[in-house]
Structure 1
Amino acid sequence: MDFDFSFFLVMATIVTGIIWGSYALLRRFQPAGAKEPVIVEYARSFFPIILIVLLLRSFLVEPFRIPSGSMMPTLLIGDFILVNKYAYGIRLPVLNTKIVDMGEPERGDIVVFRFPKDPTIDYIKRVIGVPGDRIAYFNKQLYVNGEAVKQTDIAEYQGVGQGNIMTGARLLSENLSGIQHDILIREGQPSVQGEFAVPEGHYFVMGDNRDNSNDSRYWGTVPESHLVGKAFFIWMSFDWENGGVAFDRLGTILN
């Protein structure tokens, strides 16, 4: 059990619900005209709000902030995204136990998951390999089950705002099982190479910023039980460098 924001949200729902419910049951024994205690007023006011937030965040969508450049150029530092919480099954908050099976990740999906080495930290990467796949990465080229994933060289990347840190990298378009997306590579910058087998119930993930991503090449695969949801939408983006909102990124559908 992780004592994260979900835990405190659940506890707040329980506490406010008990206070409000208990007073409602005992109210019949109160003298006529008795004033409602302040703590009950707060509980009555906050309980429905907290409950709605808990239900939305646990079973429908959850907002996340992008803290690093590992998914550039798809996602930039300062992006705020929405994650579909039921795409891969409905899970109980805090316990993270799946109660309804809704589907499984596919190659190309952008997923949020609890980092296997420290489940209190959320990571976001792209699914490269599904159970049973064999993944290889050599000389900046990705292979899935022995076949090279098609890459098309576009141009030298010219970053703007938060993307400036990767200006000069090579911008390529990659087609992963029909999912077209852009990636960045740094010529001459070493990265982990090798072949990897994806066991049952696990997923192999990589960042789109291939030479600046702490992913499955370094620490292994992601267990299905660690999945949080599928990222699908940028609802806000701040350009910290220029001190404003990056309006051109608002409303971007992720693929």
Structure 2
Amino acid sequence: MGEWSRSVIPIVRGLCFRYVTNKYLGTTVITYGPSMLPTLCITGNVLLVERISTRTGKLRPGDVVILRSPEAPRKVVCKRLMGMEGDQVTYVVDPKNSDRCKTVVIPKGHVWVEGDNIYNTNDSRNFGAVPYGLLEGRAFWTLLPRKDFGTLPPKLCLLYGLVEDNPVIYRIADSVQRSMRPKKRCHTTRDRRLKTSFSVIKLQPVSGDQ
């Protein structure tokens, strides 16, 4: 009995440590889909995600966050945080066809999220502000692909305080941001299957095991 307990206890402790780390501290995620182009690759990025900021209220506009989809709670998505409760957000309603803008005030206990690729994303412009409780973490570092290794870049228009209040300036800033990032040349057979409006992510253990 003693030998059995000595072999099992370390395994139990390791599993408990792994669970606590993934649940409360951080984890790794795999993202894919077109909505976060050009920041993230359509065919996949591996990101480091920390969960402390969401629990301590330290999130700020410009952060890349993971959250439960308000339309499909079993799905976890990756978006850019554009505004917190009480903020006034102006966005382009249909950027593919017009420059018409709309302004909303984010209600209490909610946040506003958008994909960096405003031409192909399903975000708060479609389903409205998102309850803060759906946020699961902040992505802060790119592990793969290796050419993108490093911190995630902020949204350029947020750096200058524009927040899409001028469609022309927004598009100029978006073009500049695209030129600052290397082109994503990811050739895989998954391209045909990635026609989703969300950048869906698959939660991974900290160890990176599949």
Q: Compute the TM-score of the two structures, normalised by the length of structure 1.
A: 0.53
Give distance in 1, aligned partners of 2:49 and 2:84: 20
Q: Could you list the per-position Cα deviations for residues 160-203 of structure 1 after superposition, in whole angstroms to 9, with x for gaps in the alignment? A: xxxxxxxxxxxxxxxxxxxxxxxxx7xx5569953333100100
Q: What does residue range 4-15 of structure 1 map to in structure 2 within 5 Å? A: none
Query: What's the C-alpha RMSD, in Å, of the aligned pairs?
Result: 2.6
1:65 aligns with 2:19: no
Greater C-alpha radius of gyration: 1
Are 1:81 and 1:233, in contact at CA under 8 Å, matched by a contact in 2?
yes
Are 1:192 and 1:218, in contact at CA under 8 Å, matched by a contact in 2?
no
Are 2:93 and 2:100, in contact at CA under 8 Å, matched by a contact in 1?
no
Give distance in 2, aligned partners of 1:139 and 1:114: 23
Give distance in 2, aligned partners of 1:87 and 1:56: 14
- Corresponding residue for 2:66? 112
Q: Could you list the per-position Cα deviations for residues 102-125 of structure 1 after superposition, in whole angstroms to 9, with x for gaps in the alignment? A: 224221111111111222211111
- Corresponding residue for 1:17? none
5+ residue gaps, structure 1, are 1-22, 28-34, 90-101, 141-184, 238-246
User: 2:49 corresponds to which letter in structure 1?
Assistant: V
Tell me which of the two structures has the higher relative contact order, counting C-alpha pairs closer than 8 angstroms and 6 or more residues apart.
2
Are 1:112 and 1:227, in contact at CA under 8 Å, matched by a contact in 2?
yes
1:199 aligns with 2:153: no
User: 1:248 corresponds to which letter in structure 2?
Assistant: K
Runs of 4+ in 1 over 6 A off after TM superposition: none
Q: Could you list the per-position Cα deviations for residues 181-226 of structure 1 after superposition, in whole angstroms to 9, with x for gaps in the alignment? A: xxxx7xx556995333310010011110011111001111111111
| Bigger strand share | 1
Give distance in 1, aligned partners of 2:93 and 2:138: 29
5+ residue gaps, structure 2, are 155-210
Identity of aligned residues (%): 28
- Corresponding residue for 1:128? 82
Aligned length: 153
1:236 aligns with 2:201: no
Are 1:131 and 1:202, in contact at CA under 8 Å, matched by a contact in 2?
yes
- Corresponding residue for 1:243? none
Q: What does residue range 12-161 of structure 1 map to in structure 2 within 5 Å? A: 36=4, 43-76=8-41, 77-89=43-55, 102-138=56-92
Distance change in 2, residues 1:139/1:59 (3 Å) = closer
Give distance in 2, aligned partners of 1:42 and 1:52: 16
Distance change in 2, residues 1:137/1:236 (3 Å) = same
User: 1:57 corresponds to which letter in structure 2?
Assistant: N
SS at 2:91 equivalent: strand
Select which of 136, 148, 152 maps to 1:249: 148
Distance change in 2, residues 1:120/1:130 (3 Å) = same
Select which of 211, 214, 220 maps to 2:119: 211
Q: What does residue range 158-173 of structure 1 map to in structure 2 within 5 Å? A: none
